[in-house]
Each structure stands twice: as structure tokens, then as C-alpha cells.
Structure 1
Amino acid sequence: MSEKDVLHILGKEVALGESAQVSFNVAKLHTQNTIDVPVIIERSKKPGPTVLITAGIHGDEVNGVEIVRQIISKGINKPKRGTIICVPVINVFGFLNMNREFPDGRDLNRVFPGIRGGSLASRVAFKLVTEILPHANLVLDFHTGGADRYNAAQIRIIKNEKTLDELANVFGAPFVFYSKNLNKSFRNTCHKLGIPTLLFEGGKSASIDNTITNTAVNGTKRVLNHLGMLNRKFKVSQPKQDCIHLLESKWIRAKYSGMFKATITINSKVKKGDDIGNITDPYGSFNHFVKAPNDGYIININESPIIYQGDAIFHISTKVKQ
């Protein structure tokens, strides 16, 4: 077997046709207990692309973790050709306490590509970028909405990237949302390294939603099938509808503090002036109707029952690709 047929990752050698679980280890807990972040590797006997599947960059985004868990438990990660590397929980420190950030208070998705001797979050980013990411030809990264803000199932990519457009359409989420790569984010680092990345958003933090997980798992199967990597035992379903491509969007913010309830559902297409929610007070003396500022699709709804003036309560598209 030639050297190129052996994957050298995190101190382990994994040959074609082999499976392995290696530890992604950076630091211990303050109690000196070791934390092992499992990295699950499945290699076909036939060479091919390497797909890296990640979740849990934010520790409270459980829905993303559940998506990768299902991909592993169902055996979708065992490729017909090539290699699939799964990292279900990158920020295991935050996952332990259902916190978005690391114990050092930093958002992991704002410190990439990291520094070897930097903060805890920066060290994790550095190790991921230097020891795992270079093996990938494609990254599927799973996220959810922050706090009580529920995201419609969507793939986020940058504009004018033919490969990303093709893969996003193959994935088949209800929406493809064109958004800029944020500075020091995982997606931006992948882009700078020339690695195509599909960022999936869906659901909300500290919650598991079956519709969202099903959408993501089915989308992953479509992408793997497109690459000739999906095992023959899995069936590939067609998306229920064509992807809607969103070019621009804006947040609708609360004009008043109070008790909040959305009166439309996620994914809804609304017209300018439609009633989409209510802000009330506990005493029955105030009722403010939230109206759509423009025609568009609702891609995020704040599900918190209590909101304050200025809080983001809806995310609406303002320009759709025709």
C-alpha cells in the first residue's frame, strides 16, 4: 500500500478500507479530568474525496450534534468510495454546560484559524485547522439559531461560487441564503484554504427538531450520492420543493417590550403589511400588531415569550434570486 493510501491524522494511520476513532484532545477540565473529543473516520477500499462533517462549534447547538449523530448511527458515514470524517461535538467544553462559548468566554467561530499558544478556544481552532481540515475536500458544518431564535432549514454560502451553488442545490434545503463569510469564522478559514463548505442552519439552540434533522440528514445523503460516496443501501429522496435562493435579508426588531407571539410559521411567504405577530403586556391593556415591512420569506422567528424593545423577532428576505 502506497503512502498516499494512508491517512495520517491526529497521530494515527488509517489505511483504505479501515475505520478508526481518534481523540481530538486539547486541554483537561479544571478538575484534571481528560476530555476526549471523538473523531470518527470511515474509509472505503476505493479511493475518493474526503468529506469532513462537523457540528457543535457552539456548545448549545444540540440539533447539529444530533444530525451528525444520526449520520453515524445509521451508517451514512460509511462511504462507497473515499473517506468521511465526523466530528460531532467540536466545542465539548460548551456542550457539557449547554453554553455557546468556551469556558474562556470566547466564541470559537470568531477565533479561526487559531493560535497554537493562544486562548483555549484559539488552541482548539488551531488544532482543527492544522490537523484535521487539511485532509478535507468538502466540509459540511451543522449549526442552529442562537438562543430562542428558530432558523428555517437553510444552506449558507457566498455568492459567485459555482461549486457551492451546485452542491447547495443538490443538498436541497428549503432555502439557500447567500451571506458573506464572517472574519475569523470556520467557514471563512475553509474558504481561504480553498475547501468548499456548506454551512447548514436550522432550528434553535438547546433543542432537537425532527423536521430539521430529517432535512439535514437527507441533504447529506444527496450530497454524498452526488459525489458517488453514498452506500448503495441508502435511498435518496428528492426535495419536496425547489430551493429558494435568498440574496438579501433584514431583521425585524421589536418596537416595544412585552409578551411576544408570532402568528405566522417559519418558511412562510408574507406580503408587505401582513400581520405576523403580536406584542402584548401582562395586564391586557396593550396589543401591538407586528407587520411585515416588505414581501418576503420568514427564515427566523424568535420563540421567546418575553422580548425587549430592539430584540430581533423575525428575519425576513428582502431580495430573492429569480
Structure 2
Amino acid sequence: MAKDILNILGAEIAPGKSVTLTFEVAKLHTRNTLEVPVIIERSKKPGPTVLMTAGIHGDEVNGVEIVRQIIAKGINKPKSGTTICVPVINVFGFLNMNRLFPDGRDLNRVFPGNSNGSLASRVAHFVMTELVPHVDFAMDFHTGGSDRFNAAQIRIVKDNPRLTELAHVFGAPFIYYSQNLNKTFRNACDKAGIPMLLFEGGKSFNIHNTITNTGVNGVKRVLHHLGMLKTKFTVSSPKVNAVVIKESKWLRAKYSGMFKATATINAKVNKGDVLGNITDPYGSFNYFVKAPHSGYVFNVNESPIIYQGDAIFHISTEIENS
């Protein structure tokens, strides 16, 4: 539960206060400083502290847009408790439209970080020491990479009743059971005892209205469930019940060539259904990609050019019966 006084980055934030703090990531060789804004909203009424983050990968713009809308619409101003929003953690990557930090490191592979480590490691250390200790619950927003479009989904570990409950409350079309990877933000939060919903949706370098709306509406549902959402906001029911994916498999390209997917995201396909085709620029062949098994398509590679072995469709192999 929220403490009376919140101490972050040397600032003392009392209940009922709104504060924007900045974390200095680095001083550049041009003598400019690069800072990460941290937007904190506190109600006078006690309640949970919820952290919402995006932009761990600088090219994942849709996640940034979700948190931006949450702030711009005032959804982050809680009826009770506290919200902490960090729309862009990897400011370097966001400025350069690059997934990584300038040191070539993936921020989501260096948690919990080190105050004396690489630049990425220092940012991870800041998040884990300055923000996470104050938090009761977190939501982190991502998108697909390398031209792969993710269906809106919540990723959680299996057999965690609290996460399962909140994932269903969020209301994304899919809940995908995936293990916490070593040195990721989600894994570091799990080790710190902080439950996290990881949202995936859309693709890099792209803002998709449906994905954005799914993320924003999901946040409203969760905050409402926690008693934090102000009554002026409407809370819609999810359009469909979430499909819980227990197991899945990537379908990889058998040939290199020009690729066109015909199967749509979120679609349920049957074994043998045509999902797309691979051709060459010279009209010498046309290979039809067929579903190796029945399931739901929740990731599609939208690159027009693919290479042999590239992941082109992510299809569920086992779902949880509701």
C-alpha cells in the first residue's frame, strides 16, 4: 500500500501530490544531459502503487503511445493509491529509433543492473532501486520486433493465480503463458516479489489504433479492479473472452523470397489452411505456406522479403479450456 511519504530521486512526495521527476541517464559529449521523465500521481486516499512502463526497446513506439494516452487522458490520476508512469525508459533508443542502447546492449537483458556497469545496466539499476521498491504491481508495454506483428496479448507465467486474475481483468484477446527470461525486467520484478503484466501488441516503428485502444482499455479495467480508477472514466467489457495459450510453435520459412501473408492476426486456422505464399522476383515459383496444425495465429511476419528459416507465423498448439 502507498506510504504517507514517497521518497524517489531525493524528492519527498506526499499524498495528493502530482510530480514529474527526471532521472539523468548520462551527460553527453556535447555537454547536454539526457533525462528520463518519471510522472507520479498520488491520491490523498491510500491504495496500491502501480508502475506503468514502456520503451524498454526504443523502437517499440506503440507501447510508448499507450502510456502517453494514459497520462494525456488523466487515467493515471488515481482515485486511491499512486501511479508511476515512465513512458520511455530507453530514451537513447527512442531518439534514434533503435531497439538497443548506444553500447549495443539490450536493456531487457541486463536487469537488475549495476550502478557501475554499462549504460544500459545503470538504467536498469535505477529502475530496480529507485522505482520498483515502492511498487505493488507493474504493467510493462512492448511490441513485436523485426517486422513481426503481435496480436494484443498479456504474457504471464503459468500457475500464478494473482497474475492470471489480473490478466483476465485486463481483457486482451490472448493470454500467453511464457517463462520469465533471465535478466529481463519481468524476471527481476518477479524476484523482487512484484507481480507484472507484460503487454505485447503491434510491431516496431508503428502505432496501431486497435492495439493502442486494447492497451489503454486494459489499463482502465485493471485500475478499476484495484479501486484506483476515477468514476468519470467508463470501463468497457472485453469484446471477447481471452484465449489462454499454453503452448505454441513458430512456423519458419521453407524458402527465401517475397512473402505475403493471407492469414490475419487473431485468426483461428485449421491444419492445411493456406496462410500465405512465398515467391521470387522472376515468377519462377510460388510456394503456398500451409498451417502445420490447427490453432490461433497470434504473430505474423509482415516483412515483404524473408529468408529461409525466418519465423513467419506464431501459432498456438495447446490452449486452456475455459
Moved more, 129-138 or 3-12: 3-12
In structure 2, C-alpha distance between the alignment counterparts of 1:30 and 1:64, rounded to whole Å? 29
> Which aligned pairs between 1:185-204 and structure 2 lie closer than 5 A?
185-204=184-203
Structure 1 residue aligned with 2:95? 96
Deviations 1:249-305 (A, max 9, x none): 111110100000001110000001100010001111110000101110001000000
Structure 2 residue aligned with 1:12? 11
TM-score between the two structures when normalised by the length of structure 2 = 0.98
Structure 2 residue aligned with 1:62? 61
Structure 2 residue aligned with 1:48? 47
Shift of 1:29: 2.7
Shift of 1:11: 1.1
Q: Give RMSD over aligned pairs.
A: 0.9
Structure 1 residue aligned with 2:289? 290
> Structure 1 pair 315/30, CA: closer, same or farther in 2 (3 Å)?
farther
TM-score between the two structures when normalised by the length of structure 1 = 0.98
Shift of 1:33: 1.1
> Which aligned pairs between 1:1-322 and structure 2 lie closer than 5 A?
4-322=3-321
Shift of 1:30: 3.2
In structure 1, C-alpha distance between the alignment counterparts of 2:124 and 2:200, rounded to whole Å? 20
In structure 2, C-alpha distance between the alignment counterparts of 1:217 and 1:17, rounded to whole Å? 23
Shift of 1:4: 3.8
Secondary structure at the aligned position of 2:93 is classed as helix
Deviations 1:88-139 (A, max 9, x none): 0000010010000000000000000001100000000001100111111000
In structure 2, C-alpha distance between the alignment counterparts of 1:29 and 1:281, rounded to whole Å? 46
Shift of 1:32: 2.4
Shift of 1:176: 0.1
Shift of 1:25: 1.6
Secondary structure at the aligned position of 1:66 is classed as helix
In structure 2, C-alpha distance between the alignment counterparts of 1:83 and 1:260, rounded to whole Å? 47
In structure 2, C-alpha distance between the alignment counterparts of 1:29 and 1:185, rounded to whole Å? 26
2:225 partner letter: H
Secondary structure at the aligned position of 1:27 is classed as strand
In structure 2, C-alpha distance between the alignment counterparts of 1:71 and 1:171, rounded to whole Å? 14
1:216 partner letter: G
Secondary structure at the aligned position of 1:36 is classed as strand
Number of residue pairs the alignment of both structures matches: 320
Task: Give unmatched runs, 5+ long, in structure 2.
Answer: none
Secondary structure at the aligned position of 1:132 is classed as helix
Deviations 1:50-76 (A, max 9, x none): 000000000000000000000000000
Shift of 1:24: 1.7
Deviations 1:198-249 (A, max 9, x none): 0000000010000000000000000000000001100000000100000011
State percent identity of aligned pairs: 74
